[in-house]
Amino acid sequence: MKRVVLYLRVSTLDQHPETQLYDLRQMAEQRGWEIVHEYRDHGVSGARARRPALDQLMADLPQGKFDTLLVWSCDRLARSVKHFLEVLDELHRLNVEFVSFRENLDTGGPLGRAVVIIISAIAELERNLIIERVRAGMRRAKLEGQRIGRRPAQVDRASVLRYRIHGHSLSQIATAHGVSRALISKILKEEKLAGHKGPLQAPLQAAENRQSESAA
C-alpha cells in the first residue's frame, strides 16, 4: 500500500481547505492509498517563497516517510514554473511520486512522466531564449560602441605611487583612494612597485608624466 501525504493551501483565512481535502481523501480511498500526514498552509499566498507547511514537507521528504505527494492542483504547490520543476526534481531524486487531482497528473505513470518532461523542456527553452536575447543585446551594444559592464575606477596613479613610496600598505592605499586592494596591487605591479616601499622616483615621475599628457 502506498504511503501518501497531502498538501493543501488556501490563500486567505476566510477560505477553507476542506473542499480540497474531501477530493484528495476520496481519491486516496479509491486507489487504496494510506494517508500518513496532511500538510496545510491556511491563509498563505502562493507567491510567498516560504510557507510553514511546505517547508516542513520538503524537510520530511528525505526521511522516507511517504511514497507519494498528492495535491489538489499544481498551483497549490508551487509559486512558479521554476519552483514547480525544482520540487518535481527533488521528488524524482528521492523516488517520490507526484499526483495532482485537478490536472490528473501522475508521475508514476507514463503519461505523467511525459508531461513532466514536456514542462521541463519548455522551461529549458525559455531559459535558453532569455540567454540568447541577452547575448544578442550585448553584441548589438558592442557594435554600437556602448560599453558593457561597469566603468573602470578612476585612480590617481601618481598618488598611489607616492603612498607606496612613503611606506603605506596596499590596504591603506586602497582605503585612501576608495578602491579595492586588488586594483592597487595591479597598478603597483604595472609600475614594478608591488614589493617596494623605499624611495624610488623613476616610476612616480613616469606616472606623473602620463597623467600630465592625458590632461593635455
Tell me the catalytic residues: 11
DSSP, residue by residue, 81-97? HHHHHHHHHHHHHTT-E
CA distance 132 to 114: 27
| Closest of 77, 66, 72 to residue 21, by C-alpha | 72
Taking CA atoms, 195 is separated from 130, 162, 180, 185, 203, in Å, by 46, 14, 18, 10, 13
DSSP, residue by residue, 53-74? HHHHHHHHGGGT--SEEEES-H
| Closest of 134, 173, 175, 135 to residue 157, by C-alpha | 173
Burial of 204 per CB tally in 10 Å (0-12, 13-18, 19+)? buried
